[in-house]
Amino acid sequence: MNYFGIDPGQKGGVALITALFTKVWLMPVRDKDVNVTELVEILSSVKVATVYIERVHAMPKQGVSSSFNFGMGYGEVKGCVEAMGLPFHLVTPQSWKKKVLDGFKWKGRKIASSEFCEEHYPEISLLRTPRCKKPHDGLSDALCIAEYGRMA
C-alpha cells in the first residue's frame, strides 16, 4: 500500500511512503497560495494511495487575515484530494503524534518529529535546501503523518 501524508500550509510538506521508496516534497506554493497543479502532479506519482491530511484549525491570537489564508490553503489541499477521488483521512496533530512519536517526548517539542524521521528514515533529507542546517518542520511532520497512515 502507498501512503501520502500532508502537512497543509505554505510551510507544510507532502510525504509518500511506499513498499519500495519514501519521498518528501515541500508544499508547492505559488504567490503565497498552494499550487494545486503541482500538488496534483505529486499526488499522481503513484497509482493507488491513501492520503492522510493533518486536520488543522486557527490558533488562538492568530490574526484574522492569517487564519483566513491558512484555512484557504487547507481547503485547497482537501479539495484537490477530493477532486482526484483519492481516499483520505483527516488526522489531528494529537492523534498522529501520540501514535507515531510514542517514546520521543513529543509534548511541547516541535523537534520530536524531526528526531523520529532522522532515526527511522535516515536516507531522507529534511532540509529545505542543501545549505540549510535545521530540518524543515513541514517535511518531518508530513513524513510522520504518512507513517501514521502506514501504522493504521
Q: Which residues pair with 30 in a beta bridge?
A: 33
CA 73/CA 51 separation, integer angstroms: 16
CA 142/CA 130 separation, integer angstroms: 19
pLDDT in tens, 44-68: 999 889 999 999 866 666 666 566 5
Q: Evaluate if pTM is beyond 0.75.
A: yes
Task: Give me the residue spans of the domains in the chain.
Answer: 3-151
When the pLDDT of each residue in the chain is averaged and rounded to a whole number, the result is 91
What is the pLDDT at residue 108?
75
Lowest-confidence pick of 9-13, 91-95, 145-149:
9-13
Q: Among candidates 47, 8, 51, 2, which has minimal Cα distance to 28?
A: 8
pLDDT in tens, 10-42: 899 999 999 999 999 999 999 988 999 999 999
CATH homologous superfamily of 3-151: Ribonuclease H-like superfamily/Ribonuclease H (3.30.420.10)
CA dihedral 136, 25, 138, 86 (to 10 degrees): -170
Sign of the CA dihedral with 110 first, then 113, 118, and 123 last: negative
Looking at the predicted structure, is the pLDDT value of residue 145 above 60? yes
